[in-house]
Amino acid sequence: MPAAPAADAKPVNWQIPLVVVIVGMFMSVLDMSIVNVAVPAIRADYGESTESIQWISTSYSLTEGVAVPAAAWLGMRFGLKRVYIWSLIGFTVASALCGLAGDLGQMVLFRILQAIPGGVIPVTCLTLLFRMVPMDKIGAAMGIFGLGVTAAPGLGPTLGGYLVEHTDWRLIFIINVPIGILGVVAAMAVLPNFPAERGKPFDLWGFLTIAGSLFALLLALEEGADWGWTGYRVLILLAVAANLMALFVVIELQVKNPLLNLRVFTYWPFVNSMILNAAISIGLFATLFYIPSFLQSAQRLTPWHAGLVMAPLAVVLMVMMPITGRLYDRFGARWLAMLGLSINSLGLMMLSQINVNVDRLEVVIGTMIMCGGTGLAMMPIMTGGMSAVPPHLADYASGFSTLIQRVSAGLGLAGMTAMVSLQHAQIMADRSGLLSADGADADPRVVAMQANGQEGLLGLWQQLGNQVQAQTYGNAFIVAGSLTLAGVALAFFLPAGRPSGGGDAPVAH
């Protein structure tokens, strides 16, 4: 395949265009975490069941997963600048519609419309970065770019909690409108033009197979806890996902113009970086999901106050990312990744000690250490992998990088949630069996609470549930911390020394 026409044409001033690209990236990633905080308020406003309201998040995840594989082709076919601008416009308009939705049906429809550009934006942003920035400055650029990737999820619970508690949940969508308008105007003014490949055909069968596979996989992950992980619906979806993925691989290796070029996986540093970033993503999103849930359910914090506990997490990432980028330009990926993964694992292991009465300062310290390691490792790992891929495959590598990061985070979180659910049921049954209400082994606490009627027993049951929740969440953090600790060994095989750019000779393993 010939090199992309503009692969070597780097703009002289890339800093301002990079800031514009970060705006779109920040919007798309922020939306993933900020909406979850508002779901209870939306449910109360619409009067819907918990199962129904979850489709606000499920519809977005499914549609985004389908849109991501087509993003690389859209950028090459219509031009990166044009696709980025139209994606920002689409995301902004859909966000406004979500804020105006009158019922759940409208909300789900508008979330689907929002997810289409939401899946295209991250791939386009990453490709633009590698087209615009000289290779000797790529670490500094990725450090700044990382603010949009990692700081946004950390800010989501804080900002969302404030808007829900003190204003109106609709503002979590409306807030995207002025930001999107400014981003579009700035993109039209400062982003460089990269020539499009007008004659590039669309790989329809490749798209249908990968889109169908991801849709089935993500639906199984989203609904597995409710449908049962061994239920026939989940097993059928997983079988469909596996077979369509196998068919996709066969198609992509045979067509002349593949939708996603699988030859990027012949470059071991890229493959290695995808594995390591998947491990980091699992730990990060597990923290963002379980800690606010624990603080609100077990310690009875409001969404706003739970968000404040998470705020230092975002601050650490915002401080670390630019520093790490400059360190990468000097030392390369290997040692930063090994150190960062070790620190990340330490923070997760500290979080595994949570209990009902844990001091919030301990939670803050644990999340800050975990995010310090994330900030030190994530961008060097991603940049080291992307830099090993030749320029003519960079667009495909961007697509796979975004796709694997999103799917692995969802897959890992779903797997840990399934483990948490099973452990929760088992531990609750075991501990409940120890609380005998009569006979010689009767627990005096139960006997005393029986005398106080139903309310006394309910309090004991809630206390037991909170303790079990803390224990199962702690076990989930042990798993996540073990994954990142195991990644230290793989990180040793990342490139070391000053980055020199993607090579042309694949190293297959």
Sketch the domain layout of the chain as residue ranges: 1-201, 203-258, 267-509
Do 389 and 453 form a contact (C-beta atoms < 8 A)? no
Predicted confidence (pLDDT) at residue 442 exceeds the cutoff of 80: no
Section 390-408 average pLDDT? 79
Do 276 and 491 form a contact (C-beta atoms < 8 A)? yes
Instruction: Write out the DSSP string of 400-440.
Output: HHHHHHHHHHHHHHHHHHHHHHHHHHHHHHHHHHH---SST
Predicted confidence (pLDDT) at residue 167 exceeds the cutoff of 80: yes
CA distance 377 to 491: 9
From residue 481, alpha-carbon distances to 128, 285, 339 in Å are 33, 12, 14
Is the domain defined by 267-509 classed in CATH 3.90.800.10?
A: no
Instruction: Write out the DSSP string of 45-83.
Output: HHT--HHHHTHHHHHHHHHHHHHHHHHHHHHHHH-HHHH
Question: pTM to 2 decimals?
Answer: 0.78
Predicted confidence (pLDDT) at residue 180 exceeds the cutoff of 70: yes
Least confident window among 69-78, 243-252, 366-375, 427-436: 427-436
Section 397-407 average pLDDT? 79
CA distance 196 to 124: 13
Predicted confidence (pLDDT) at residue 406 exceeds the cutoff of 80: no
Residue 303 token pair = 């969404």
Q: What mean pLDDT value characterizes the chain? A: 82
Residue 506's φ and ψ, nearest 5 degrees, are -70, 145
Query: Which residues lie closer than 8 Å to 174 by C-beta, 6 or more apart?
Result: 95, 96, 99
Q: Give pLDDT, residue 499.
A: 63
- Output the CATH code of domain 1-201: 1.20.1250.20
Closest to 336 in 3D by CA, of 369, 382, 268 = 382
Q: Give pLDDT, residue 448.
A: 58
CA distance 242 to 244: 6
**Mean pLDDT comparison of 5-9, 252-256, 391-395, highest-scoring range:** 252-256
Predicted confidence (pLDDT) at residue 481 exceeds the cutoff of 80: yes
At 38, the pLDDT band (50, 70, 90 cuts) reads confident
Domains 1-201 and 267-509 share a fold: yes
